[in-house]
Amino acid sequence: MSDLRFDITPFLDQDEGQHFDRKSLYEGEEGAKRPRSRRAVRDQVAEYIAAFANAEGGVLILGIEDDRTITGYQLPQDALNNILKTPSSRLQPAQPNGFIMPVEGRKVIVFDVPASDVPVQVIGDGFPLRMGDQTVQSSESQINTLKFEGMAESWESRRSLMTLADLDARLLERARQGAGLSALSDEEYLLKRKLADRRGRGIVLRNAAALLFARYGPDHPNAGVRLFRVIGTERYTGIEHNVEERPRCEGNLPAVISEIRTVISSLLRRPMRLVGSRFQESAEYPDFAWLEALLNAIAHRDYRIEGTCIEVWLFDDRMEVVSPGGLVGNLTTEALLTLKRVHHSRNPRIIRVLVDLGLARDQGEGIPRMFAEMEDAFLPRPDIDATSRNVTVTLRNTLTLNAMDREFISALGDLELSRNEFRTLLYTYRHGQIDNARLRALSGLDTLNASYLLRGLRDRDLLVLHSHGPNSYYTLTSILTSQVGVYRAKGEKLSADGGNIREGHEGIRRRGKLDADEGEFSADGRELGTDGGEFDADGGELPDYIRARIAKLGKRPRRVRVRPIIHLICDQGKWVTSAELARFLNIGQSKLTAGYITPMMHSGELEPRFPDKPNHPHQAYRARVP
C-alpha cells in the first residue's frame, strides 16, 4: 500500500499551511501517550481531505507530532484499512485513498489530495474548506463559486497553444521535487496540477503552464513587471519630469519573480532603524512586507487584461505595487483590512505551483503578516486600494515611533531580548495584551514556537498569563509597567539622531537620505559601534534563513539537524558565545556545550576564540575556515 512515486522528504520539515497538514495518532501527556480514537481519526481524515479537495488540493500526513517527531501508528490491519479508505467511503464524490510511507524506521499514513472540479461533501456532515492552516465549514454554493471563478472561468484555465517541448524541463523538475513528486514525469505532474488535460495519447497545456514554465516566456504580452523610480514624492511631467523607468522584467513567472526581487533589493536604502531594542542598519521596508505585496500582485492579477503589466513605483516616501484587475469575486478591501483569513483565488493553479517551487509561502497569513511586519518596524499600516481596474498596495517608510514607545523602550534598559521577544513586549505594551494567534501573525512562528516564546517571557517575569483555555492571553507584568512610569516621571526619552525621531513625512528629504532614521541609541549615553566582532547582546539578528531553520527544529530536534545550524550561526563572520547559542536555539547552555560545541571542536567544525583558555569568561566560537 506504499506509493513509491511519492517523496515524503519535502514535508518532514514543512510548516502547516494551505496545502499541507500533519496529525499525530496519539494523545495524552508526554510520557503517557495513548492511541487516539479510531472514529475520531476517520472523522478528521474525512474533514481534511474534503477541505483540501474543495480548495487547491494538499497533503495530509498522519503519524507526525506538532514538533515534527515521527511517531507513526499502532493499528491492527482492519483499522488501518478503514482509515486508508476513508476518502472513498466517507466523501461524495469519492477521493483517492491513502497509502503508507516508511520514515526513519516507522510508518506514516499519507493522503495526497488533488483539487476537485466540483464541491466535495463529507456524507452527512457538510462541505469543509481549507483556509490557511485551518479547516472551516463552508457551503456548496460558495465552493461552487470558488471552483467556477478559479478553476473554470479564469484566464489561467484556458487552453494554451504551447506544447510540452516549449516548457523549461529544469524548472519542471524543480517543481516536481518541491511537491514530493520527483518520480512523476513532466506530463504526469502537469496533469496532476491541472496544468494540462489528456487528449488521446498526448496532453494539451493550459495557460497557467505557459505562464509558469515557458522556456522563453509565455505568449501573454504583459505578464512581466515594470519598475519606476521617482525622485521625490510626486510624479511630474515636462521639464520637471522626475521618473526613471528600469528595464522591464519579463519571462516565465519564476524568472520574473527572481529578477524583480533582485532589482528592487538593490534600489532600497538601508537606514538606521530600531531592530529589537537596538538601532541597527536595516531595510527601508521589511523584506516580507514588500515581497508579499509583489507576490500577491503576480499570483492574483487578472491575466485576462493583456494591455498592461504589474507596476512597482518607488517614491522617496513610499512604494506602490499596482496589479491589473479588481479584487476577485465578492472579496472587498474591508474584508482584507480585517486581517482575517479569506479564501478566494483567481489563479489557484499558479499559486499551488509557486508553493511547489518555493517562491510563495503556504501559510495563508500573508496580508496579516505584512501588516504586522510594518508595525514591528514602526512604519504605517499598508494601504490597500481596489478599483474595478486595479489593486494598489502602498507601503510607507516614515517612522511612527511616539513618545510612549520611546518611554517603553527606555524602560527595557539592558534586557537581553531577541527580535521576536522585543516585538512581543512592544505589541503587548501598545495593545494591552497578546495571544498565541496574534504572535504567530506578528512573527511568522508556528504555534509551538510561539508558545515557547510566550512562556519564556512569562518565566522571566516580563509577561503574565491569563489562562482561559483557547482564549488565554498575556499582559505585561507590573515590573515593566511601573518601570515605564519611572521613565515617564523622569522625562527620559529614547532618541534616534539626538532626539530627532520624527512623526509625519517631514523626516524624509530625498531618496538616498532618511533624516529620521539616522543616529544612535542614546537612552543611556551608549553608542552602537562595534563590539569586538561579537553579536549584539539581544542575540536576535540572525539572518532570516537561519531563524527559519531554527523555528523548524521543534521541541526535541535530532542532533544531526542541530549541528548544521550551529555551524551556520558561527559562520557569520563574528565570534558567538555559548550563552548566545543557547539563547538562539533554546537549549540549555551546559547541554549545548557538552553535546554540541565540544564535539564540533573535536571534529574541526568550530574553533574557540581562546584556545589556550577553554574556560575563559569571554570564550566564543566561530566556524573553522577550511
Render 390-402 in DSSP notation, one character per residue: EEEEEEE------
Note the pLDDT of residue 173: 96
Residue 434 backbone dihedrals phi, psi, to 5 degrees: -150, 150
Angle between helices 77-84 and 38-54 (to 10 degrees): 20
Residues 249 and 391 in one domain: yes
pLDDT in tens, 413-422: 777 788 788 8
The pLDDT of 242-256, averaged and rounded, is 94
- Has residue 95 been placed in a domain? yes
Note the pLDDT of residue 71: 93
Note the pLDDT of residue 5: 77
**d(Cα 462, Cα 453) in Å, to the nearest integer?**
11
Note the pLDDT of residue 517: 39
- Has residue 521 been placed in a domain? no
Note the pLDDT of residue 339: 65
315, 232 Cβ separation under 8 angstroms: yes
Note the pLDDT of residue 365: 67
Residue 80 has pLDDT above 50, yes or no: yes
Q: Residue 10, class by beta-carbon neighbours within 10 Å (0-12 exposed, 13-18 middle, 19+ buried)? A: middle
By residue range, what is the domain housing residue 473?
A: 403-495
pLDDT confidence bin for 504, thresholds 50/70/90: very low
- Has residue 102 been placed in a domain? yes
How many domains does the chain fold into?
5
Q: Which residue has the higher pLDDT, 611 or 352?
A: 352
Query: Percent of the chain at pLDDT above 70?
Result: 84
All cell numbers assigned to 289:
512586507
Highest mean pLDDT among 46-55, 485-494, 547-556 belongs to 46-55
Residues 240 and 381 in one domain: yes
**d(Cα 427, Cα 541) in Å, to the nearest integer?**
19
**d(Cα 278, Cα 411) in Å, to the nearest integer?**
13
Give the lowest-confidence range in 378-392, 396-410, 538-552. 538-552
621, 578 Cβ separation under 8 angstroms: yes
pLDDT confidence bin for 443, thresholds 50/70/90: confident
Residue 558 has pLDDT above 80, yes or no: no
- Has residue 110 been placed in a domain? yes
Residues 283 and 252 in one domain: yes
Beta-carbon contacts of 206 under 8 Å, excluding residues fewer than 6 positions away, are 156, 157, 158, 159, 160, 194, 195, 196, 197, 349
All cell numbers assigned to 45:
481524515
Residues 298 and 371 in one domain: yes
pLDDT confidence bin for 409, thresholds 50/70/90: confident
- Has residue 525 been placed in a domain? no
- Has residue 500 been placed in a domain? no
Residues 487 and 604 in one domain: no
Note the pLDDT of residue 528: 29
Q: Which amino acid is at 600?
A: M
Query: pTM here?
Result: 0.63
312, 264 Cβ separation under 8 angstroms: yes
Residues 254 and 112 in one domain: no
pLDDT confidence bin for 85, thresholds 50/70/90: very high
- Asked which of 95, 113, 139 is the last residue of a domain, the reply is 139
User: Which CATH number do you get for residue 450?
Assistant: 1.10.10.10
Note the pLDDT of residue 519: 34
Note the pLDDT of residue 263: 95
Residue 461 has pLDDT above 70, yes or no: yes
- DSSP per-residue codes, 166-222: GB-HHHHHHHHHHTT-TTS-HHHHHHHTTSEEEETTEEEEBHHHHHHHBTT--S-TT
pLDDT confidence bin for 232, thresholds 50/70/90: very high
Note the pLDDT of residue 543: 78
The pLDDT of 513-540, averaged and rounded, is 34
- DSSP per-residue codes, 507-574: TEEETTEEGGG-S---TTS------TTBPPTT-----HHHHHHHHTS-SS--HHHHHHHHHHHTTSSS
Q: Which amino acid is at 183?
A: A
Residues 309 and 419 in one domain: no
Note the pLDDT of residue 171: 97
**d(Cα 145, Cα 329) in Å, to the nearest integer?**
8
Residues 418 and 491 in one domain: yes
| Closest by Cα among 21, 445, 359 to 178 | 359
250, 280 Cβ separation under 8 angstroms: no
- Asked which of 367, 396, 425 is the last residue of a domain, the reply is 396
Residues 320 and 408 in one domain: no
Residues 242 and 391 in one domain: yes
What stretches of 376-454 adopt beta strand conformation (E)?
383-386, 390-396
Residues 177 and 281 in one domain: no
- Asked which of 213, 241, 258 is the last residue of a domain, the reply is 213
Q: Which residue has the higher pLDDT, 365 or 569?
A: 569
Beta-carbon contacts of 242 under 8 Å, excluding residues fewer than 6 positions away, are 230, 231, 232, 235, 236
Residue 363 has pLDDT above 70, yes or no: no
| Closest by Cα among 304, 451, 284 to 373 | 284
Residue 284 has pLDDT above 60, yes or no: yes
Beta-carbon contacts of 365 under 8 Å, excluding residues fewer than 6 positions away, are 132, 341, 440, 441, 444
- Has residue 520 been placed in a domain? no
pLDDT in tens, 103-123: 989 999 999 999 888 999 999
pLDDT confidence bin for 612, thresholds 50/70/90: confident
Q: Which residue has the higher pLDDT, 422 or 325?
A: 325
Note the pLDDT of residue 541: 64
Residue 535 has pLDDT above 50, yes or no: no
Residues 262 and 193 in one domain: no
All cell numbers assigned to 48:
481534511
Q: Which residue's entry shows cell 480514537?
A: 37
- Has residue 287 been placed in a domain? yes
Across the chain, what does the average pLDDT equal? 82
Residue 175 has pLDDT above 60, yes or no: yes
Highest mean pLDDT among 247-251, 280-284, 400-404 belongs to 247-251
